[in-house]
Amino acid sequence: MAEVFTGNFTQQDPIPDEGIAAAVAVMRGGRLHRYNAAPGETSEVARLEAEFATYVGARYCLAVASGGYALATALRAVGVQPGDRVLSNAFTLAPVPGAIAAVGAAPEFVGVTEALTIDLDDLEARLAATPARVLLLSHMRGHVCDMDRLMALCAAAGVTVIEDCAHTMGARWRGVPSGRHGAVGCYSTQTYKHMNSGEGGLLVTDDAGIAARAVLLSGSYMFHDRHGAAPGPEVFEPLLGQVPNVSGRLDNLRAAILRPQIALLDDRCAGWTARYRRVEAGLRGVPGLKIIDRPADEAFVGSSFQFLLPDWPPAAVAGVVARCKARGVELKWFGAERPAGFTSRYDHWEYAAPRPMPATDRVLAGLLDMRLPLTFSLPDCDLIARIVADEVRAEGARSGVGQAAAE
């Protein structure tokens, strides 16, 4: 009888007891709003900002309502105006171009390589061909490109980099934490991310002006002095009355849940990557299946796993998805004609009027993805890999594709 996986791909590990206790204390006190602190009290949100800034080595940190809000705030804070064009990855999720559209700007998509990172050759061409002066770089699904080359290209072109680190909290490139190469790093604490508060976001920067504008944009009223990692009052003074309030504050309840998770983050990241490596080992060498090799300079977080079925016809890729689902393994397919669940791609976002990108289309047509929550054991990951390998082989044989040796 064929093996079946019975685990849940959306089940996260529980909130730490310390976070639960802190959240209950906030609820008992009734002071959920970030600025509703008793005299002499530092709010949970201000503490979170200070502690996360220390974790990533940033001067300033702002906690906000979501990762998408952090992206839109960063765009506004670096000066993006309605009508501007903003460069961004073609391989990302909808909140990234959505943040660009939210500020009245227009996405200019850059291609993706088979390593699932932004195509730096295409970026170089886009930098020369467009008036865009901001790159919203998505480290999509935790894949980090050559950040040294990217930053050199953008510096030469006078382009400001904002990093979307929703999938790379805890990752590093050549020892530098994700989010610390660009002018701004933005993180998500939505349930499926590396720290879990249901919804939430964090923005970090070393630029005092950007930090002050972001704080005011978030809806600080006259309470900008109640932040845990913000510039001094002299930076805010010339901005008062000049920056609109676009409210998106984090509350003390979610901050209380998040704070204990910072101390767990490195161990969690190691746990995700161990699971990733077990799936990788089980799939390497399967005919027709391409593993995404990770560069030595990338200390990645393997909270999800991707592989390619290069040049497989759509019906055969759909067959793999259906076969795996029948055995309990949930795969997301970025090549599907219509968006499904959280999964969509650049040509689904019609409002952005994207240009044709045939090289990117070829990559996304065979791209399959799955979550690897920490609630999975290492033997679970071995089982998942066996099921995927079995069904890729079976569908390849049925469809007459994928029979050449894998990479």
pLDDT at 264 over 70: yes
Q: Are 200 and 285 found together in one domain?
A: no
Q: Are 168 and 21 found together in one domain?
A: yes
* C-alpha span between 139 and 347 (Å, rounded): 19
Q: Are 254 and 281 found together in one domain?
A: no
Please, which residues bridge with residue 62 across strands?
Answer: 203
Q: Are 174 and 39 found together in one domain?
A: yes
Last residue of a domain, one of 240, 260, 280: 260
254 pLDDT band, cuts 50/70/90, is very high
Q: Is residue 230 part of a domain?
A: yes
3-state SS assignment for residue 401: coil
* C-alpha span between 35 and 21 (Å, rounded): 21
Q: What's the angle, vertex CA 268, arms to CA 263 and CA 274, rounded to 5?
A: 150
Predicted confidence at residue 403, as pLDDT, reads 64
Q: Is residue 10 part of a domain?
A: no
Structurally, the chain folds into a number of domains equal to 2
CATH of the domain at 149: 3.40.640.10
Q: For the segment 74-116, what is each residue's pLDDT rounded down to a tens digit?
A: 999 999 999 999 999 999 999 999 999 999 999 999 999 999 9
Q: Are 102 and 242 found together in one domain?
A: yes
Q: For the segment 300-333, what is each residue's pLDDT rounded down to a tens digit?
A: 999 999 999 999 999 999 999 999 999 999 999 9
Q: Are 234 and 281 found together in one domain?
A: no
Q: How far apart are the first and last CA of the chain?
A: 30
Kindly tell me the sign of the dihedral angle through the C-alpha atoms of 20, 24, 27, 29: negative
Neighbour count for residue 50 (Cβ, 10 Å): 17
Q: For the segment 45-82, what is each residue's pLDDT rounded down to a tens digit?
A: 999 999 999 999 999 999 999 999 999 999 999 999 99
Q: Is residue 7 part of a domain?
A: no
Q: For the segment 356-365, what is each residue's pLDDT rounded down to a tens digit?
A: 999 999 999 9
Element (H, E) at 368: strand 367-371
Q: For the segment 197-229, what is each residue's pLDDT rounded down to a tens digit?
A: 999 999 999 999 999 999 999 999 999 999 999
Q: Is residue 307 part of a domain?
A: yes
* C-alpha span between 190 and 213 (Å, rounded): 24
Torsions phi, psi for 401 (to 5 deg): -130, 165
Q: Are 49 and 185 found together in one domain?
A: yes
pLDDT at 405 over 50: no
What token pair was written down for 26?
């906030």
- The stretches of 284-377 forming alpha helices (DSSP H) are 314-326, 358-365
The region, left, alpha or beta by phi > 0 then psi within -120 to 50, assigned to residue 200 is left
Helix axes 147-157, 120-129, angle to 10 degrees: 10
Q: Are 187 and 289 found together in one domain?
A: no
Q: Are 272 and 256 found together in one domain?
A: no
Q: Is residue 26 part of a domain?
A: yes
Q: Are 225 and 246 found together in one domain?
A: yes
How far does Cα 142 stand from its chain's mean position? Answer: 7
Mean pLDDT of the chain: 96
Q: Are 240 and 285 found together in one domain?
A: no
Neighbour count for residue 81 (Cβ, 10 Å): 10
Q: For the segment 110-160, what is each residue's pLDDT rounded down to a tens digit?
A: 999 999 999 999 999 999 999 999 999 999 999 999 999 999 999 999 999
Percent of the chain's residues with pLDDT above 70:
99
Q: Is residue 59 part of a domain?
A: yes
Range of the domain at 115: 17-260
Neighbour count for residue 293 (Cβ, 10 Å): 11
* C-alpha span between 131 and 114 (Å, rounded): 27
Q: Is residue 163 part of a domain?
A: yes
Last residue of a domain, one of 227, 260, 293: 260
Quote the strand ranges of 169-245, DSSP E.
172-173, 176-177, 184-188, 201-205
Q: Is residue 373 part of a domain?
A: yes
Question: Can you tell me which residue has the tokens 């998509």?
Answer: 109
pLDDT at 35 over 80: yes
How many residues appear in the chain? 407
Alpha carbons within 13 A on the beta-carbon side of 179:
32
pLDDT at 406 over 50: no
Predicted confidence at residue 407, as pLDDT, reads 39
Last residue of a domain, one of 260, 285, 309: 260
Q: Are 280 and 316 found together in one domain?
A: yes
CATH of the domain at 275: 3.90.1150.10
